Amino acid sequence: MIFRVAFKALGRNKMRTALTMLGMIIGVAAVIAMVALGNGAKSSIETQIKSAGTNIINVYAGNFSMGGARQGSGAANTLTVDDATAIRNEVQGIQYFSVGVNTRAQVIAGNQNWPTRINGIETDWPNIRSWTVKYGAFFTQQDVASSAKVAVLGSTVATNLFGEDTDPTGSIVRIKNQPFKVIGVMGSKGASTGGDDQDDSVMIPYTTCQKKLMGIQNIQNMTISAASADEVALVADRVTQLMRVRHKIFPGDNDDFMVRTLEEMAAMRSAATETMTALLAGIAGVSLLVGGIGIMNIMLVSVTERTREIGLRMAIGAKGRDVLLQFLVEAVVLSVFGGGIGIAFGVGLAKAVTQLWTWPTAVDPNSILLAFGFSAMTGIFFGFYPATKAAKLDPIEALRFE
């Protein structure tokens, strides 16, 4: 009976009812869409971390300053081959290990050329990164020892130089005017944790990169794969302690190197994403608050318009709690129906964002329940005052109201 009266009362002013619900619709839809964007970004980070490899620890050369200008991490020449040998031989818990030097260069094949990243690495690199070879084979330890001019292409480089689904094994490419024999092509890997295309690279022995392309003796980084996920932090600590001893760094002094795990990087990015998601959801939540105020405003107007009706109902026996419940139900109906429509709009908006802009989104059922529950509570909270005001009307005064 109460719900029938509520629907009938709301149906008298359909436009006003629709506009009142609009605040709740926008608020709920915004909360769901914003949380979906945040969850999608977090899921994307986790996927990228998994694609990067397993149990990875990165060691970088430290910052380098010249004339007060910081050159950034990796700019210093504080890492050496001897450091790598010591870590490989003395640190327990390491499964795979590779040193690294990196540069950028134009790669030329016939009349085609492509600017890309050149990764000077070791033979364990594919195992660390869980990266398989599509065509040919990866270079060997003998190639590293002899500084052989051999190259393994990323799929993006291979496609741009030789065409799609073409096996260029045995072809010659030129890197900084040096001829390199292509011995393999890596399978497609996708984006890295930083958003870079991992397939847009060329892998060569690090010794070749040092001597033939860069003219350096130091190394820029080391990539380590711990034997198990439980040992990642322990191995990282062991590497840090050994490096501090080797570089004669006293207690309290800053390291001239950096040791980072993918878990640390993922945690930092996830924390930033969660903060942004909470901020966006908070901003969207303001719409729910505005929608609640709109409901209270309309319900107060409704109480004023229906004063004589309230007086008549109370005169024929209706109690104050009956009037209170009636107006409270009307407010809840407004918010719940608005919330339900808002859920549909929010889910649709999240899917539209993914389809139109390819941004990852993930609709969380908990966010739907939270938004819907909050919209219902908003109706109760903001509808309570108008309903109480209606219940406290004096029947005689209400009947006299013009």
pLDDT one-digit tens code per residue, 295-306: 888 888 888 877
- Which of the four pLDDT bands, split at 50, 70 and 90, describes residue 373? confident
pLDDT in tens, 326-350: 788 888 888 888 888 989 998 999 8
Output the pLDDT for position 263.
66
pLDDT of residue 386: 81
Per-residue pLDDT reduced to its tens digit, 217-237: 999 999 999 988 788 889 999
Which pLDDT band, with edges at 50, 70 and 90, does 288 fall under?
A: confident
Q: With residue 64 as reference, give the H or E element that holds it.
A: none
Write down the pLDDT at residue 2: 65
Amino acid, res. 178: Q
Distance CA 361, CA 159 (A): 30
User: Where does the pLDDT of residue 195 fall: very low under 50, low under 70, confident under 90, or very high at 90 and above?
Assistant: low
pLDDT at 266 over 70: no
What proportion of the chain, given as a percentage, has pLDDT over 90? 39
Q: Strands 65-66 and 56-61, how do they pair?
A: unpaired
Mean pLDDT on 71-96: 82
- Sign of the Cα torsion 32, 35, 37, 39 reads negative
pLDDT over 70 (residue 402): no
Q: What confidence score (pLDDT) does residue 305 get?
A: 78
Contacts of 401 (CB under 8 A, 6+ apart): 307, 308, 311
pLDDT of residue 100: 95
Whole-prediction pTM: 0.57
Share of the chain above pLDDT 70, in %: 86
Residue 185 has pLDDT above 90, yes or no: yes
**Mean pLDDT for the stretch of residues 135-158:** 96
φ/ψ (deg, to 5) at 163: 100, 160
In this predicted structure, the answer to whether residue 45 has a pLDDT above a threshold of 70 is: no
Q: What's the sign of the alpha-carbon dihedral 198, 199, 201, 207?
A: positive
